[in-house]
A and B are shown apart, each in its own frame.
Chain A
Amino acid sequence: MSVLLYEWRRISTLRSTWILSGLALGQAVLILLLPLLLSVEFYQSTSTSLNDLIPITIVPIFIIFMSTIAGAAFGHDYRHGTIRTSLSLFPNRLELLFGRVTLVLLFTTFVYAMTVFALIFTVWAWSSATGGFDWTTFAPAFIRALLYMTIYNLGVLAIVMLTRIQALGIVVPLMMTLAVEGIVTLILSSRYPWISDYMPYSQGINWAIGSMYESTSDYTSITSVFTSIPLPFLGFNVTLFLIAIWLFHRRDAS
């Protein structure tokens, strides 16, 4: 598939891709390493499982770097007008779209996997935690974070494709997660007590992180991870992405 080779050369020849990937991995390792070096009890307890240490350092900040890479996929093309170059090489727009989305998601998955390996190595090298590493309980947490990142990034890609502004793709989901949904819930929850159940990004982050603190909690199998994806989070981002595909296919490349 020449579109995948094109996309690989596009993403891999940008310095920002590697800087963001390095920062994502570096910050995760640092967040884990600091309490280890400071001998924080939980991190050095012999009863603490390695499973407990690794996932909690992954999602919150890591996703910002990965969403910046995802946002740049179309953001750079729109900012520099190179969408015309891309589409004159691939006039079948769906081919370009799916090639690009596939490669971005594969690349962010690769960075995520590398980061997790780096964290496992860090724990192995620096921690006295001997609670063991159990893949059967770690895998659901690993896949849950990966799914969260993938769905989140679909939303990022969609917002950039809809608005043609890279910054909005990065900022809007972040603001929704950190502030907007919380404020909306605060204002409306007395009248609509169920409102918080329908806040997509809050549901998403709770699902991804909340249970990660308890790696042996409800999500003990990979199947349970897939069946537990919060529908508001999945539905909102997938719907946004489908609208973006439709518009990308219809409108002018400028």
Chain B
Amino acid sequence: MRVECIGLGKSFGSKRAVNDLSFVLEPGVVTGFLGPNGSGKSTTLRLMLDLDRGDGETLFDGKPLTEYSSISRVVGTHLDAKLFHPQRTARSHLRMLAAESRVSDERVDEIIEYIGLKDVAKKRAKTFSLGMAQRLGLAGAVLADPKVLLLDEPANGLDPATIHWLRDFLRQYAAMGRSVLVSSHLLSEMELMAERIIVISKGELLANESVNDFIKRNQSFALAVRVDLPDSLQSILANRGIDVQRDGDLLKVNMDSPRELGNLCFENSIRVWELYEERGSLEQTFLELTSQSEEYKIGGV
């Protein structure tokens, strides 16, 4: 299902939390939703679901959510780890959610087992750790097998094994033609999980592209090479008008193709000891991009 957000906007008093935000979630893709604290991510998710009243609209295959009869088969949400009544058991909570789209009790039990909550299914949710609460939230989101998943910080509090499971699960879920939007602060995890990212800051859209394009766009040098004659290679590259930066015997070169650089060294009888792509990280790129627009800056250490 294609999700189209058109001109989303929201003000809290005089503060504009989200401003004219438009983007599209395509089916079959896990999209990461990034932004510094207070950038408007959660507000955007709430606007998409019409939980917050604001400007703009969100269309699910061209229709607003209110035009669908069974909402939880259209969109599954997990907006907060602790969105349950503490006195209610995990199974009762899921059965309650299941009522909206008449999901069977068998499916509830199946999800409970799948998500690893079988042993605590009849325990009150107030006894749950953050990780268990996150699992319960995820179980609720996927209960009716929705076509769209909107998840706000689903990996918070999860142990490494469960994060790994979550990553695989979301990629598989998207591979079945579903749209997945995941907001997270775990940038290294997002780099592995998402194919596309949407970056916002102060409620404004900063980027909406594939993870690779996002990283490359903000990266000066693509290749790093260590050779026996760095002076020679540096002058050869400079003569060809290619940007190069020297760090001892390591050269950082602004070229896209390792093969082309390797051939160039071979043609000039330069021995290559090491050649690799200088890949920037999502975290590094994200920090550079948002450093100017971060609202609640933290002091240096």
Contacts and interface: CB of A to CB of B under 8 A. Distances in A.
B285 interface: no
Interface string B167-205: 000000000000000000000000000000000000000
Interface string A70-93: 000000100011101101111110
B88 A13 contact: yes
A254 B52 CA distance: 8
A85 B71 CA distance: 12
B79 interface: yes
Interface stretch (B94-102, B213-221, B290-298): B94-102
B53 A6 contact: no
Interface in B98-149: 99-102, 140
B262 interface: no
A13 B122 CA distance: 12
Contacts of B85: 14, 76, 80, 82
A6 B65 CA distance: 19
B20 interface: no
A252 B42 CA distance: 13
B102 A2 contact: yes
Interface in B71-107: 71-72, 75, 77, 79-80, 82-89, 92-93, 95-97, 99-102
A84 B79 contact: yes
Given A6-B96, A6-B99, A84 B83 contact: yes
Contact of A2 (B86, B87, B95, B101): B101
Interface string B45-82: 01001111100000000000110001110010101101
A252 B87 contact: no
Contact of A88 (B51, B70, B92, B99): B51
Nearest to A3: B100
Given A6-B99, A90-B100, A251-B53, A80 B92 contact: no
Contact of B80 (A5, A16, A81): A81
Nearest to A79: B85
Contacts of B140: 85
A191 interface: no
Contact of A85 (B70, B83, B87): B83
Contacts of B84: 80, 82, 85
A103 to B, nearest CB: 12
Contacts of B70: 2
A3 B88 CA distance: 19
B76 to A, nearest CB: 9
B95 A252 contact: no
Contacts of B65: 91
A252 B52 CA distance: 4
- Max chain A C-beta neighbours (<10 A), residue from B72, B96, B100: B96
Interface in A211-226: none
B127 to A, nearest CB: 14
Given A88-B71, A90-B71, A80 B83 contact: yes
Nearest to A80: B85
Contact of A253 (B52, B66, B75, B97): B52
- Max chain A C-beta neighbours (<10 A), residue from B75, B83, B101, B140: B83
Nearest to A7: B99
A15 B86 CA distance: 11
Contacts of A87: 49-51
B100 A91 contact: no
The 6 closest A-B pairs by CB, nearest first: A13-B92, A6-B99, A5-B99, A9-B96, A253-B51, A89-B100
Interface of B: 46, 49-53, 65-66, 70-72, 75, 77, 79-80, 82-89, 92-93, 95-97, 99-102, 140
Given A85-B83, A252-B51, 12 more contacts: A9-B99, A10-B96, A13-B88, A14-B85, A14-B87, A80-B82, A82-B83, A84-B46, A84-B79, A91-B65, A252-B46, A254-B51
Interface of A: 2-3, 5-6, 8-10, 13-16, 76, 80-82, 84-85, 87-92, 250-254
